[in-house]
Structures are given as structure tokens and as C-alpha cells.
Amino acid sequence: MSDKKLIQSRDNIVEAAGRTTQGFGLGRIIGQLYALLFFSPEPMSLDDMAGELKVSKGSVSTNIRELEKWGAVRRVWIKGDRKDYYEAEVEFFRVIKSGILPFISRKLDSSLAAVSESRELINAGDQLKSGDKSLADFYSRRLDLIEKAQKKLSALFKLPLW
């Protein structure tokens, strides 16, 4: 096997990772970056990564900090070198637990603010015509369903599964 074949097999996964993150609405580069570091025996600098992926340094900077937030990569210091180097956190489940799940959780929380708002809007009104009242009751029961699901979901997210 030539070195070229090895690089090719790595690039194959890099590309797939990019497609995957793109498919989940996270952009292509973030997945490619993680895969690149995951298959790098040595830490890489921003310029290294930009060069390998043929993308701008600005993109690498932005995306690598996103990955850092998730705990998917970490910065490593190399003595006598001013550049920032990064390596991948290779324990997937640590990334999922400490990075991805909280990320999803936060997104959901922010959308649930609307539910509380609507609940207040509905509860606030007391003087109702009879037709409106039955519709308000219906809405109220629907909101109950959402809150029930919310509780189940957040309990699930807190479960120590791994």
C-alpha cells in the first residue's frame, strides 16, 4: 500500500464527515476538521488544516473554536512555537455527552420560551365569550401535552446513560 492510498482513505472519511455535519445543518468544514484531526498522528496548526482542506484560514479559526466549545478538540502547546496546535478528542461519547447533547438541549430550551409566553397569554384572559372559552381550553390542553413531553425529554437528557 502506498502512502497515497492511506491519504486517500483518510480523505474518504473526511469527506463523509463533512457530508454528515452538513446533513445535520452544521456546515461542511466543521466535520471535515474533526475527521482530519481524528486521523492525524500529530497536532495540527490552523495553517496546516487550511492547507489540507483547501479552505480559508478564517473558516478554520471559526470552526475550530466551535469544536473546542463542544470539547471535540483541544488546544495543545508546542514549546518554542507561537502557533496554536489542535488535536482531536477521540472519545466520541465524551463529545456527545459534554458537547452535542448540551448543544441540542440549549436549542430546545430557547424554543420552549414561546410555550411559556403562549401559556401566559391564554391564562391571562378571564372574560371570555363561550366560543372562545372552549378554544382556549383546547389550547390549554395542548400546551399541557407539550410541557409533559418537555419534562420527559429533559429527564432523559439528564440520564447517566454512559
Q: Which residues here bind a copy of itself, judged by CB under 8 A?
A: 1-3, 5-6, 8-10, 12-13, 15-17, 19-20, 23-26, 38-39, 41, 90-93, 107-108, 111, 113-115, 117-118, 121-122, 124-128, 131-132, 135-136, 138-139, 142, 145-146, 149, 152-153, 156, 161-162
Do the Cβ atoms of 13 and 23 come closer than 8 Å? no
116, interface contact from a copy of itself, DNA, none, CB < 5-8 Å by kind: none
E-strand stretches of 35-114? 44-45, 73-76, 85-88
Least gap, CB of 85 to a copy of itself (angstroms): 18
* Sequence-ordered list of residues with C-beta below 8 angstroms from that of 39, at least 6 positions apart, any chain: 10, 13, 14
Least gap, CB of 17 to DNA (angstroms): 12
- Would you say 55 or 97 has its CB closer to a copy of itself? 97
Q: How far apart, in whole angstroms, are the C-alpha atoms of residue 48 and residue 76?
A: 14
Least gap, CB of 141 to DNA (angstroms): 27
Binding residues for DNA, per CB under 7 A? 22-23, 25-30, 45-47, 54-59, 61-65, 82-84
Least gap, CB of 69 to DNA (angstroms): 12
As a whole number of Å, the end-to-end CA separation of the chain is: 38
Q: How far apart, in whole angstroms, are the C-alpha atoms of residue 113 and residue 110?
A: 6
Q: How far apart, in whole angstroms, are the C-alpha atoms of residue 77 and residue 109?
A: 36
100, interface contact from a copy of itself, DNA, none, CB < 5-8 Å by kind: none
- Would you say 12 or 123 has its CB closer to DNA? 12
Least gap, CB of 64 to DNA (angstroms): 7
Residues counted in the chain = 162
Q: Which among 91, 85, 89 has a CA at the least distance from the CA of 60? A: 85
